[in-house]
Structure 1
Amino acid sequence: MYEIDPSRLDLAHEFRRRPLGHHSPELQAVLDRMRSAPIEGKHCLIVETPRARWLLARMTGNPLRPVPVPDVVFTDLAEAEWTVFKLRWHAMTGHDLATTLGELAIPEPPVDGPPVVVPDPARAILAYADSISAAPGDSIAFKVSTPGIAGYRADFVRLHAPQTGRSGEGYRETEIASPASGDYPGGEQTLRLGSYIELPELPVSLESFSLQILAWPTLIGTQPRALLGAWSQRSKRGFGLYLDETGALALRLGDGTEVVDISTGIAVAERRWHLFSASFDAASRRVELSQRPLEDHSVHTGRAASVTRDVAIMPAAPDTPLMIAAWPDASPDGLAPGAHYNGKLEAPRLFAQARPWERLDQPIAAEIAGEALVAAWDFSREIGSDRIIDRGPHQLHGRTVNLPTRAVTGHNWDAAEMDWKQAPQQYGAIHFHDDDIDDARWQTSFVFTVPEDCKSGIYAARLRGEGAETHVPFFVRPPRGRRTAKVAYLAPTATYTIYANNKARFLASGTEMLRGHLLDFDVTDMQLLHHPIGLSTYCVHNDGSGVCYGTRLRPMTNFRPKGRLWNFSSDLFVVDWLEGIGCDYDVVTDDDLHREGASLLEGYQAVLTGSHPEYVSLEMMNALEGYLKGGGRLMYLGGNGFYWRVAYHPHSDGIIEVRRAEDGTRAWHAAPGEYYMSFTGEYGGLWSRQGRSPNTLAGVGFIAQGFDASSYYRRRPESRDPRAAFIFAGIEDEILGDFGHLGGGAAGDEIDACDVSAGSPPHTLVLASSENHTNAFHMANDAVLVPNGATNALQSARIRADMVFFECPSGGAVFSTGSIAYVGSLAHNGYDNTISRLTRNVLERFLDPAAFAMPGKGG
């Protein structure tokens, strides 16, 4: 591991001069060492006032969260970076850099200015809507929870522009009248995390019984983890098979007064298949319990254990239904399921007798028929749904709750088949997690009906109470079957859903190295850490497995118009620019496009994207390609677009699935054999690995990312091709976009490049390319075949954002910017800048109905 040389004061001086941006390789090595330290105890910043004041903090506690360092306040981010640099230098070298340089280690407490107010995440307005897209006349139900707040006022606003300046300057919204506006009482609603299977009550009286289930546990210990049974924590009646606090198999019995637990006393192995069996003989009151690892090719298969014990009680008839992977009333408040299991379960069976030991411990695939059989649930059936099928005589079918992961490999998967549809019998498992969520299921607080005369655009319910504020955005599309403008803005709602509640932005290892600067937490980030409102698909579950389902049917703290500029808030730059240049537009969403296909875009002369349309379903991809084949014009105003293939839930467009298969720049990777999506059976992963790369659609594809600073474009010779003359009308500048609200330039964050070998049309004109990126920019994983030392921007010319244009055979055309940061430059200087002028030139030509001609040979 690299060790910092305390004598290299020249590196400290270099950082002092330029804490953000370009660094020498030697300084970058020092920064990488500092930023790669464990996140616990690491310094970070709390945003007290957006873009104006920051508090020094440290990551501490369980769970981790930023805790302020008393009386350390910054009004300059560069000063904050330098202060933490000095503290880390001292901690890692033992040398006090501040004393050597004759400076204070940390600045003096402020003597003037407003008092410091630390954001309180416990007091919050948390809310979501049941719909994200609505037409005039449609109704949207809003669900609100207000922990620590007695009441709130709801108003409805049209959103125009995001915050760009200190203390919120730049933000614009306009109130609209609605009967739903008004004051509402507050109240806290609980969000219940954790997946399980809900089953009917027992149809027969059980005195003697046997249970059997296959299990692949992933997180054992600390608390009971329910497997199968009909157990009531409240009434102490029934029976339940579970893993106890030590990770050993156990059976719990209760007669309504007394509770007996029988355990093998030996912890099972995590991530290994086991056969768990238990029986109770009413006549002898004997319990038999067995945990047996299944033989596989691994060296460690865990330890088998069995126990026989006589008990004094007779279990009372259960007063709760059967349940798998949880107990019905074991939540801390006793009102909801709890004791959630983490891991895979397969083939649970229930018998109305104490089966002989040698029969109970037989392989799970044995014949299930027999008079004593009560139920035999088969998870390999109807994998694409929430239904659970019982092959037993009583048809005790059930359903999954909170979306455990299906289409996962079972105990008998032999790796010969990767597609669950081709060998469903090898995909008979379900992976449960104690932090799964599909829908918060909150009560409706109020309903907003979109006025019949409401203009298409981006709107929000604005909720305010006792100093707290939140916005719940939604999109108003034009009346169904009508177009009210020539331009459509396609809002990337699939991407918003996938990124919802992304804790990995500040909790994942290496995230500060990725960002290239100190982590900063605003009040919504702190609310996300404080309130259990679920994870994003950029997170991993508590057991370390990837989150493959994303849902917007719960509060999304990072789906807001204010605060950090990323995704939704950045995309407001697009509509702000359209309004600034006086261009009418309609708004449609990914959800609409997925449902309605190419017909949604028919009649629009031009379609504009947001800054980051990363996630695309098959239906969306087909629709966009169909639009271009019909002569449409696409303006892709972002980067890292059309990258991952996703699938929408068959019955709810609020839930989306992604399997991070094979390759790609990703937060986790799908397990072997689990690359096919459960919702649709489609192959997951990158579109580029499925023959439909972003380059084919947009002319560019994801090449690199870096988040410390953005750069600019330099015009290429192709920009003077007559085919591109309309794009550069009135523009003589060679340098384009050396300004902007996203990192200080138009080319940054995540960037795309043109590559004919990857699918870019051969007649694509590369109009301009970015340059001078910092060494915090690194190539995308899928762009690197062999690990090497030339994957940052100082060493690879491949790291660039390409601005491109090409014509389509049916008279349409595509213009792409290849940069997420591009939209942040549109509004610079009151829309009077080269990026705005160039983009307007493109839009005006795209609105001209005259067909684009394909270039001739050699053109």
Structure 2
Amino acid sequence: MLALTGYANRLSVIAGQSIRFHVSNHSGQALEAGLVRVVCADPNPDIGGVRYEACELPVLELSTPGPQSVPLGSYARLGPADLLKGIRSFTLCFHLQARLHSSETQVICSTIDDDLNGIQFELSPQGQLVLQLASQNESQFFRFDETLQRHCWYRCKLVIDALSGTFTWQLRDLSHADGKSMLQTHPVLGSFVGSSAALSIASASSQLPRQCFNGRIEDPWLIAEALPLDSELNLAEAASHPKCLGAWDFSQGFETQTLVDIGPNQHHGELFNTPTRAVRGSLWTGKEHCFRHAPRQYAAIHFHQDDLDDCRWPVTHEVRIPEGFASDAYALMLKTENYQENIPFFVVPKLGTSKAKIAVLVSTYTYTVYGNHARPEWFADPAWQKSYIEQAKAWHAYPYNPGEHQDYGLSTYNSHPDGSGIGLISWRRPMLNLRMGYITYPYPSIRASGLRHYPADSHLLMWLKHHQLDYELVTDEELHREGLARLKPYKTVLTGSHPEYHTEQMLNALKAYRDQGGTLVYLGGNGFYWKVALDPTREGIIEVRRAEGGIRAWAAEPGEYFHQFDGEYGGLWRRNARPPQQLVGVGFTAQGNFVGSYYRIRQEVRENPRVNWILEGVDSDIIGTEGFSGHGAAGFELDRVDEHQGTPEQAIVIASSENHPPDAPWVLVPEEQLTHITTIPGKSHKELIRADMTYFDCNGGGAVFSVGSITFCGSLPVNNFNNDCSKVLLNIVNRFISR
């Protein structure tokens, strides 16, 4: 745990409203908090380092920040606390699929209360199923010797019979036709009574995550009777039993955190920390791949020991943003005697009060999806890690890395301990890479500043300030919620370096803005790529399913390509009828190391009056040879035109990047590749590895300019903003705001 950290309740605040902060202070030292306006989030000494200006707005302390813990791990609470109280005979049944054999005991389900009465199913470090019967501080433990096979389904049943004074438990393999069935019968502890605790699933406690299970649970039910072992009730049959205490159907309400009890008592359950729903259960046949078409085949829930949807820390500070307050990037600065922290956020103008001609679209959903990305180099390359730490210290950069501090949950570019991909993410937690001064890559001689996302996007805001171009910010959240109305007041909308993740509502708003006369300036690469879904009732929780295709940190499992939050097919927008080329003319084509190259201007452009104004003041045919991101304007992730994917026929390529050798390595994105030597466009790999700087006019009077490279904005500050990339962008923006 960090000595000092925190998070905001939202990443953007509309002027006239308040933003609240949740701060944890383990230092034991007095804390000072103040508001600053961010000038530069790049710690590179060559650009002047991190800079900010103090703001006069007061920061209200609502409570004294103290040490806080992080409640990592998802679980469920089924029924009321007294569900089994006083009940001596009952039958409990559920299906389970273990995904991880770890060094720690994992609790599958439990009813053990504060008086240590109850039952608990555990998965031992050896992968064996263990049953604990606890009664008045006395416990008995039983186990099946056979190791549970990971990724296989089992049916587990416990029958406690007070009349005979015995209990029987059974484990049956459901994944194989000749699956084994194991059975044990033992005497019950003489003083055993029912528990006063609720039934917890995937945790030892129904009040907080403890000893959490990594795996899937399906169809739990409880009947207040010792049923014969040969009574193989399914969930619906259990629900209709006259002594049913609860029968929870996980195939209902996929988008919610409610677990529906289909029995007569309606003891509905609740989920905590948003485990993964709409996943294959024991009944999945492979004939249906959408949970909406066959919900009972998706009646499982996948729990993880590191799921986190909200740190749930108390509110400690509040800032009330006045109406008319300048829209920009801000941060709450926290300082103690020995520690310092910054919590960035963005101020957005109240709808209908915009004054600037320029809007900058801040990619807060992408920031969140990448939040706390622990890069593989941190774990695999000690020299890389050492260089990172040394560089951060020398540059006075942000000193913490998610690879070292995994307490706050990782990103959707990481995996859970059981190997499944992280697909549900929240901004209600400290995100260490959403900080002023955060470095993504060391080795400045190769990577330059080595920044991505939030710190990298400050290069664009610096450029706008340098050229005295008034702007206002719009984040993904406002774009999703308010749509076209949020963009309409502006002459032009600029993206940052990496607008990768979008909802349908966001794309609809951008397209409508463009088609109704607005102008878009796409200043990144790998943009408009992945489709995401938002929690329908809780702000700040985002879902991504990495379905077929795409460069991916992990792949969604077969049959699990549909979002639990909205029921729609996930994955690439390209596979959802919205290729990026349709919106901005270019789309993702290749990825390499964080190294930049240059663009070569096409000669015919200088003679074309439709576009030659873009190159006014640009004498060289090669531009972008320097930059604070990979030392060049065209690098890391590149986009190109493709008429088959929807690039408008009137689009004009202004310049294309060069010098991306395949052995660098540069790779073609999987969705463009057929075999190791053939591609879908029918061209060579080398031809397809490029960024196309592109311009086109739209029928409704709008226009689009795209650079097709993540590292482009890093070239804007070179030579105090006096360079060819800066000139090109200035020509574009001045033309667009003068329309």
The equivalent of 1:212 in structure 2 is 93
2:388 aligned with 1:520: yes
Cα shift readout 1:217-271 (whole Å, capped 9, x = no counterpart): 1113533322233113x53122223333432223222122201122223221110
Matching residue's letter, 1:264: F
Alignment partners' CA distance in 2, 1:265 and 1:313: 26
Alignment partners' CA distance in 2, 1:505 and 1:147: 29
2:577 aligned with 1:709: no
Cα shift readout 1:621-677 (whole Å, capped 9, x = no counterpart): 111111111111000000000000001111223111000001100000001110000
1:153, 1:181 within 8 Å by CA — same for their partners in 2? no
Alignment partners' CA distance in 2, 1:214 and 1:350: 13
The equivalent of 2:367 in structure 1 is 496
The equivalent of 1:549 in structure 2 is 424
Once the two structures are aligned, what percentage of the paired residues are identical?
A: 38
Q: SS where residue 489 of structure 1 aligns?
A: strand
Moved more, 182-191 or 688-697: 182-191
Q: Compute the TM-score of the two structures, normalised by the length of structure 1.
A: 0.80
Counterpart selection for 2:493 from 579, 598, 607:
607
Q: SS where residue 719 of structure 2 aligns?
A: coil
Summarize the Cα distance change of 1:731–1:531 in structure 2 as closer, same or farther, 3 Å threshold. Answer: closer
The equivalent of 1:476 in structure 2 is 347
Alignment partners' CA distance in 1, 2:679 and 2:291: 39
Alignment partners' CA distance in 1, 2:715 and 2:693: 14
Counterpart selection for 2:470 from 584, 601, 604:
584
Cα shift readout 1:465-519 (whole Å, capped 9, x = no counterpart): 233222111110112222121110000001001000111443577x899x9x997
Alignment partners' CA distance in 1, 2:402 and 2:374: 11
Summarize the Cα distance change of 1:734–1:131 in structure 2 as closer, same or farther, 3 Å threshold. Answer: same
The equivalent of 1:356 in structure 2 is 228
Summarize the Cα distance change of 1:165–1:488 in structure 2 as closer, same or farther, 3 Å threshold. Answer: same
Displacement of 1:525 after TM fit? 4.2
Q: SS where residue 540 of structure 2 aligns?
A: strand
Q: Compute the TM-score of the two structures, normalised by the length of structure 2.
A: 0.92
The equivalent of 1:530 in structure 2 is 405
Alignment partners' CA distance in 1, 2:647 and 2:377: 35
Alignment partners' CA distance in 2, 1:277 and 1:694: 51
User: Aligned-residue CA RMSD in angstroms?
Assistant: 2.4
Summarize the Cα distance change of 1:813–1:358 in structure 2 as closer, same or farther, 3 Å threshold. Answer: same
Alignment partners' CA distance in 2, 1:625 and 1:133: 23
The equivalent of 1:271 in structure 2 is 151
The equivalent of 2:51 in structure 1 is 172
Summarize the Cα distance change of 1:124–1:526 in structure 2 as closer, same or farther, 3 Å threshold. Answer: farther
Cα shift readout 1:580-615 (whole Å, capped 9, x = no counterpart): 101101101001111111111012110000100000
Q: SS where residue 283 of structure 2 aligns?
A: coil
* Paired residues for 1:287-298 under 5 Å: 287-296=167-176
Counterpart selection for 1:195 from 49, 55, 74:
74
* Paired residues for 1:405-484 under 5 Å: 405-484=276-355
Q: SS where residue 673 of structure 1 aligns?
A: coil
* Paired residues for 1:640-789 under 5 Å: 640-720=526-606, 721-774=608-661, 775-788=664-677
Counterpart selection for 2:248 from 361, 377, 388:
377
The equivalent of 1:156 in structure 2 is 35
2:258, 2:271 within 8 Å by CA — same for their partners in 1? yes
Moved more, 185-194 or 268-277: 185-194
Alignment partners' CA distance in 1, 2:553 and 2:321: 38
The equivalent of 2:109 in structure 1 is 228
Cα shift readout 1:729-759 (whole Å, capped 9, x = no counterpart): 1222111111110111111121111111221
In structure 2, stretches of 5+ residues that fail to align are 393-397, 440-450
Displacement of 1:780 after TM fit? 1.6
Matching residue's letter, 1:165: N
1:285, 1:314 within 8 Å by CA — same for their partners in 2? no
Alignment partners' CA distance in 2, 1:697 and 1:519: 40
Displacement of 1:123 after TM fit? 4.9
Alignment partners' CA distance in 2, 1:583 and 1:436: 43
Summarize the Cα distance change of 1:287–1:132 in structure 2 as closer, same or farther, 3 Å threshold. Answer: same
Cα shift readout 1:350-404 (whole Å, capped 9, x = no counterpart): 1111111111x45556453122211100000111111110011211101110010
* Paired residues for 1:275-286 under 5 Å: 275-286=155-166
Matching residue's letter, 2:110: G
2:716 aligned with 1:826: yes
Q: SS where residue 542 of structure 1 aligns?
A: coil
Q: SS where residue 714 of structure 2 aligns?
A: helix
Matching residue's letter, 2:300: A
Alignment partners' CA distance in 2, 1:397 and 1:133: 35
Displacement of 1:761 after TM fit? 1.0
Alignment partners' CA distance in 2, 1:608 and 1:652: 28
Q: SS where residue 653 of structure 1 aligns?
A: coil
The equivalent of 2:691 in structure 1 is 801
Alignment partners' CA distance in 1, 2:209 and 2:513: 47
Alignment partners' CA distance in 2, 1:286 and 1:221: 32
2:30 aligned with 1:143: no
In structure 1, stretches of 5+ residues that fail to align are 1-121, 330-334, 850-859
Displacement of 1:311 after TM fit? 3.0
2:402, 2:433 within 8 Å by CA — same for their partners in 1? no
Cα shift readout 1:754-781 (whole Å, capped 9, x = no counterpart): 1112211111111001111242222222
Summarize the Cα distance change of 1:683–1:416 in structure 2 as closer, same or farther, 3 Å threshold. Answer: same
1:767, 1:802 within 8 Å by CA — same for their partners in 2? yes
Alignment partners' CA distance in 2, 1:813 and 1:789: 34
The equivalent of 1:17 in structure 2 is none
Cα shift readout 1:16-39 (whole Å, capped 9, x = no counterpart): xxxxxxxxxxxxxxxxxxxxxxxx
Summarize the Cα distance change of 1:196–1:168 in structure 2 as closer, same or farther, 3 Å threshold. Answer: farther
Alignment partners' CA distance in 1, 2:658 and 2:46: 32
1:164, 1:741 within 8 Å by CA — same for their partners in 2? no
The equivalent of 1:346 in structure 2 is 218
The equivalent of 1:89 in structure 2 is none
Q: SS where residue 10 of structure 2 aligns?
A: coil
